[in-house]
Structure 1
């Protein structure tokens, strides 16, 4: 598709691009964002698996720079690799979870196609399936976050992944370019795609990681952002895009993951 190739070229050049999603994905996205508020605290408490970074996490459980400066949101994370361990929970039969599962399957296909295209830009072989090493995350910023005296609801940072697909329902996402902040504005059918530090390393520093942040709103308003974090398959021997030398990112993947306050990745 033309928009896939255009996005690949943009990421290879600048570390940032935008991508269109289907109407079906957009409908699932809306179900996820709008359905979160109906989930009870009891369900959130019971469907939380800290060791797997899976399920629900309370306000302030993750941070971008330091533990003393947490992100001003609560989270829901979904790893398909852990889905078989959750079959006893009634929550997985909810409309919300069904929308999450369907959206993840579709975004993972887009991610694979996009990563294959980026590899083609550099003339290297495509990566093995990344789905079981990757995960979705919904960040929900309460309207009261506006009362904070912080400039950022999420501090400036680069994601520790290959790619991050980000779809917020309100403004606030900004790219940090030097001393300036560049608002990310998306059409309803678009998702932002940001290169992470893993892709910078895999490309032998040819692709810059997209440094970004979330601004604290000036007025009390709730905000949600659905994100898909793409990690490489831990079993694949990777080759640097420019030097063409073998590179092992497994240790780096976990170092980046834990640096945000998460537990080490436990893949089946």
Structure 2
């Protein structure tokens, strides 16, 4: 099997892009429409659709940071795990159900893109373990409003997953290239593949994490759509490669990586029944 282009680019330059077919771009546009409708509701309504540990559904401003809790990320967010709407509190309510249906449609788009990346990496490394990423990955929608004071809406960080498929409806994302933070040049019809430290561990350091930040362009609003890809979390898995025979508990790394952002351990979920 030949390497897919995204996997080849990850191996060569530590990031990649994936084009979205026109019909998938329409699914993404529909998701952004429903996201805007959800996030412009009052705070009390949105809080009804978030779990107490902030793993599922709505996560209000101030609950997540990139480097320090004294500098929270300047956004609220919504997380949708394992393509299972039932994980979101009040998932059947009219105030969130259309949003969740749009997320489910986009989930299939993002999961297909993730398959392309993982198939290429498996081919390169001769890897045969089943990562079962669909039960351990999630969509995250970040909602930014205009912030006049801060130069960065999110500070420099890496995501702590295998990789993230990222797209935004406005400028701001900067990625580290040759030691400098530069504006990411990714068209709206493409997904940026950003490797995280879990993939670094999986590849014995071959693919470093992509550090990135979000510049404040004083936009009235900004929507970022992320698909954060994890390996299975219920047991340790074999890495793609090892360095000096050293064993790495990749699943444990993926479960606990959110702690550097003030988040709880990642949940170990069974496949959804819907």
After TM superposition, list the pairs within 5 Å mapping 1:51-90 onto structure 2.
51=53, 53-80=55-82, 82-86=84-88, 89-90=92-93
The reply on whether 1:19 has 2:22 as its aligned counterpart is no
1:36 match: secondary structure? helix
More helix by share: 1
1:138-186, Cα deviation, whole Å (9 max, x unpaired): 111102x1x01x3211000111000100001111111123552221122
Structure 1 residue 103 corresponds to structure 2 residue 103: no
Q: How many residues align?
A: 263
Let me know the Cα RMSD of the aligned residues: 2.4
Structure 2 unaligned regions, length at least 5: 270-274
Alignment of 1:124-143 (within 5 A): 124-125=127-128, 127-143=130-146
**Aligned residue number for residue 258 of structure 1:** 259
User: Which aligned segments of 4 or more residues in structure 1 are displaced greater than 6 angstroms?
Assistant: none
Does 1:45 pair with 2:47?
Answer: yes
TM normalised by structure 2 equals 0.87
User: Does the 8 Å contact 1:33/1:224 carry over to 2?
Assistant: yes
Give the TM-score taking structure 1 as reference length.
Answer: 0.89
Q: Is the 8 A contact 1:165 1:227 kept in 2?
A: yes
How far does residue 49 in structure 1 lie from its aligned partner after superposition?
A: 0.9
Q: How is 1:201-220 mapped onto 2 (pairs within 5 angstroms)?
A: 201-217=201-217, 219-220=218-219
Q: Does 1:199 align with 2:199?
A: yes
C-alpha distance in 2 between matches for 1:227 and 1:33? 12
CA contact (8 A) 2:158 2:197 kept: yes
Instruction: Note if contact 2:175-2:184 (Cα within 8 Å) is conserved in structure 1.
Output: yes
Unaligned runs of 5+ in 1: none
Give SS of 1:210's match: coil
Q: 1:91 to 1:258 in 2, by over 3 A?
A: farther
SS where residue 90 of structure 1 aligns? coil
Q: Offset at 1:98?
A: 1.0
Partner of 1:6: 5
Structure 1 contact 112–129 (Cα < 8 Å) conserved:
no
